[in-house]
Amino acid sequence: MLKRYLLAPGPTPVPAQALLAMAEPIIHHRTPQFSEIFASAAAGSRKLFGTDGPVMMLASTGTGGMEAAITNTMSAGDRVLVVNGGKFGERWAEIAETYGLVVSTIDVEWGTAVDPAAVAASLDEHPDTRAVLVQASETSTTVLHPVPQLAALTRDRECLLIVDGITSVGVADMPMDATGIDVLVTGSQKAMMLPPGLALISLSAKAWRFSDQAKLPRYYFDLRKERKSLEDDTSAYTPAVSLIVGLNAVYRVIENSGGFPELYARHKRLAEATRAGVVAMGLKLLAPDSPSPATTGVWLPESVDGGKFTKHMRDVMGVTVAGGQGHLKGKIIRLAHIGYADTFDVIIGLSAVEMALAEFGHDVEFGKGPAAAQKILAEQYSRNA
């Protein structure tokens, strides 16, 4: 028997409450019964995003939300600045170029956060820049970018801050309105603890003003239609009914587990413990200076083939972690601690890494990594906590 553990940064495990809710008989999406669920999920999404504005729920993955962020705010020939520090920074540039935008980039070393001074310099050099496109948490490099500092740079300019929050929303406490984010996107298969297929997106008042002037083509992803439909507790087109039912269940799980403050505290605790465990093993962190609370990137020993390593963990040990992307392929692993994850997921992940390292001939002192993590994780179970 092989029990399987999903410790990758998406898709992530789904709690039983959401699975059971989604397993109930399907209901029609144009009924008062579904509208009640839809309205509840929309209200929960506003709390999640930290915004008073509408949050649109699209039957799409997060990439569809990224595309909608561009097509609803930009016009062909507009200049945008892309923070390119990983595979998903590259994706921002690819989407923007597809729609005929003029793309300037700040190339950031993978594993490093962008320097706000570099963004400020680019905006000064190109005052016609209409948007800064950035990941809050760059999943491929496990970096957390300084979004609040970037928001301070765009706030008083005719320039939007458009943020891919796919592995930061519900992970890091970064409320959209208070931070000054103009467009924020996330997806269901990360901190929302659901299967893939639902994108959430919200626009600030400034971004809606840009939307009124935008001339890029949009039909299915026309957020003006979605905003109008939200007023009637429905969507413009057929919604992802089961996922929205599941989303509503997830919000109840979060509320019953201490609310969003505890959600953020848990992710922070798990991330700190994972990093402590990895360092105790003698391994190096991919992003030591600005690590994401969603996923920890780890350099493997040079003698270890990362592709074979992750395959062994998945197929032989039953523990799925992510490997590297782009030029990091075969060199790193990424241990996720996002969404429906807790103390013993971290212990299992670190223990599995130690056992796999030993299998690949690396000298390992068993238990050293998990022990370092336990010192941090045990505090939550203390009777004096």
**Residue 118: its pLDDT value, please?**
98
At a CB cut-off of 8 Å and minimum separation 6, what does 376 contact? 269, 272, 273, 276
Residue of 125, 143, 130 whose CA lies nearest to 84: 143
pTM: 0.97
Which pairs from 367-371 meet CB under 8 Å and 24+ separation?
Answer: 368/280, 368/281, 369/277, 369/278, 369/280, 369/281, 370/277, 371/280
Q: d(Cα 251, Cα 45) in Å, to the nearest integer?
A: 8
CA-to-CA distance for 274 and 150, rounded, in angstroms?
A: 28
CA angle at 109 for the pair 104 and 113, rounded to the nearest 5°: 85
Q: Which pairs with CB-CB distance under 8 Å and at least 24 residues apart come from 255-263?
A: 260/47, 260/48, 260/170, 260/173, 261/173, 263/170, 263/191
> What is the mean pLDDT for each group of 10 consecutive residues in the chain (385 residues)?
96 97 97 98 98 98 98 98 97 98 98 98 98 98 98 98 98 98 98 98 98 98 98 97 98 96 97 98 97 98 96 98 96 97 97 98 96 94 65
The pLDDT, as a whole number, for residue 383 is 56
> Position of tokens 């970037």?
150
Does residue 183 sit in helix, strand or coil?
Answer: strand
Q: What domains are defined for the chain?
A: 5-11+259-381 (3.90.1150.10), 16-256 (3.40.640.10)
